[in-house]
């Protein structure tokens, strides 16, 4: 199911044309590495850094694999403004939000309208998705591409340093905290031609529009 979804979306949305410097093999390797590091969320920031692409392109690539047909769900949060809260993130489900969101640690209540400009989005592998133990080669490469030729260099000729985890944000208990993507960025990308409809993103749009009157 995992590889079927990756290849189906990649071909259906013609992502090779949109993202010629990103291969499904690299995407698969990245997801696997994040999970090996016990990262709860898969970071477009880290993927952008590893693939030398812009953050916006990385987020856009992730969004193609998000939603009903994809492998990711999105998780939303905002930061509690009280410095006394050890775990300042307030995670919430847009499906269950009416007008108020509250911090479970200190009890402070926020209106959606107040925090909407501060909402962050994370990408999380769906619980229904199981990644096979054995990796498969899934990308089709252009043998005449200089870029692909460089990527195919013998491992001894490519120096790969493991990503530094020492500076990763942590919360109480030592859990790594991936930086979220601004909701405004996600909403803007979602309006581009050809982008998939992501239910949670559409609900954010509708909620914000309803507040705007």
Which of 72, 76, 62 is CA-nearest to residue 128?
72
- For the chain, what is the largest distance between any 2 Cα atoms, rounded to a whole number of angstroms? 60
CA distance 163 to 147: 22
Question: What's the CA angle centered on 58, arms 167 and 72, to 5 degrees?
Answer: 90
The SS3 of residue 210 is helix
Write the pLDDT tens digit of every residue in 17-75: 999 999 999 999 999 999 988 788 999 999 999 999 999 999 999 999 999 999 999 99
**Percent of the chain beyond pLDDT 90?**
60
DSSP assignment letter at 89: E
Confidence of residue 97 (pLDDT cuts 50, 70, 90): confident
Is residue 206 pLDDT above 70, yes or no?
yes
Give the pLDDT confidence score for residue 148 in this predicted structure: 44
Q: How many C-beta atoms lie closer than 10 Å to residue 162's C-beta?
A: 7
* pTM assigned to the model: 0.81
**Which comes out higher in pLDDT, residue 28 or 176?**
28
Give the pLDDT confidence score for residue 213 in this predicted structure: 54
Count of domains in the chain? 1
Cβ-count burial 40-51 (b if 16+ within 10 Å, e if not) = ebbbbebbbebb
Give the pLDDT confidence score for residue 159 in this predicted structure: 36
CA distance 32 to 162: 14
Give the pLDDT confidence score for residue 117 in this predicted structure: 92
Question: What's the CA angle centered on 163, arms 36 and 4, to 5 degrees?
Answer: 45
Range of the domain at 118: 2-212
Is residue 86 pLDDT above 60, yes or no?
yes
DSSP assignment letter at 108: -
């Amino acid at each position: 199911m995992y590889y079927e979804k990756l290849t189906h979306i990649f071909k259906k949305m013609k992502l090779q044309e949109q993202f010629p410097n990103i291969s499904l093999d690299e995407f698969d390797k990245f997801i696997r590495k994040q999970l090996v590091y016990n990262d709860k969320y898969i970071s477009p920031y880290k993927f952008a850094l590893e693939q030398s692409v812009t953050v916006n392109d990385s987020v856009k690539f992730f969004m193609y694999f998000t939603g009903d047909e994809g492998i990711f769900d999105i998780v939303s949060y905002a930061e509690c403004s009280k410095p006394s809260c050890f775990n300042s993130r307030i995670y919430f489900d847009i499906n269950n939000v009416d007008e108020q969101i509250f911090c479970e640690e200190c009890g402070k209540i926020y209106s959606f309208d107040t925090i909407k400009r501060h909402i962050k989005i994370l990408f999380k592998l769906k619980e229904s998705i199981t990644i096979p133990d054995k990796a498969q080669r899934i990308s089709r490469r252009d043998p005449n591409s200089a870029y692909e030729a460089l990527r195919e260099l013998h491992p001894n000729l490519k120096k790969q340093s493991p990503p530094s985890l020492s500076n990763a944000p942590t919360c109480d208990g030592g859990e790594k905290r991936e930086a979220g993507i601004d909701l405004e960025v996600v909403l803007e990308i979602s309006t581009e031609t050809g982008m998939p409809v992501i239910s949670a993103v559409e609900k954010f749009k509708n909620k914000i529009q309803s507040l705007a009157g």
